[in-house]
Amino acid sequence: MENYMKLEIPAKSCNESLVRAVVSAFAVQLDLSIEELADIKTAVSEAVTNSIVHGYSNMKGTIKVVCRMIDGCIEIEITDYGVGIEDIDTAMQPLFTSKPECERSGMGFTVMQTFMDELKVSSKLGEGTVVTMKKRIGG
């Protein structure tokens, strides 16, 4: 039987570290290495920050986090119900940012791809974005 957890929080920057800590606490059940845990924490931080900064852009909103453990793999799904992404392929290019005036680096998706084994992004304008990341533990 797969194990899972769900968390729903307001899209506030002060909650980014909470999500990282909760996902970390859940992930340690997989007996992962310190490096694997650091990778997961970094990717989660980037995804949550993207939701707050780009998905809601200073508007109130909610972020939903679902984690699943399936066959030695952790899957993390981070959903926002914000503005959505117009062109996912462009948004995933290194150094692309929708907020250059805020001195954003545009490396969020690149970081997620680097630290996780799989990254899938789906989005609808005006409805939000779902980022799904997977990491095989010990592999």
| pLDDT tens, residue by residue, 59-73 | 899 999 999 999 889
- Evaluate if residue 31 carries a pLDDT over 80: yes
Over residues 49-64, mean pLDDT: 90
Of the candidates 109, 112, 68, 80, which has an alpha carbon nearest to the alpha carbon of residue 10?
80
| pLDDT tens, residue by residue, 7-19 | 999 999 999 999 9
Q: Which residues are catalytic?
A: 46, 50, 104
Rounded distance between C-alpha atoms, residue 99 and residue 118, angstroms: 26
Residue 110, Cβ density class (10 Å: 0-12 exposed, 13-18 middle, ≥19 buried) = middle
Helices (H), the chain: 16-27, 34-50, 88-91, 108-115
Domains of the chain: 3-136 (3.30.565.10)
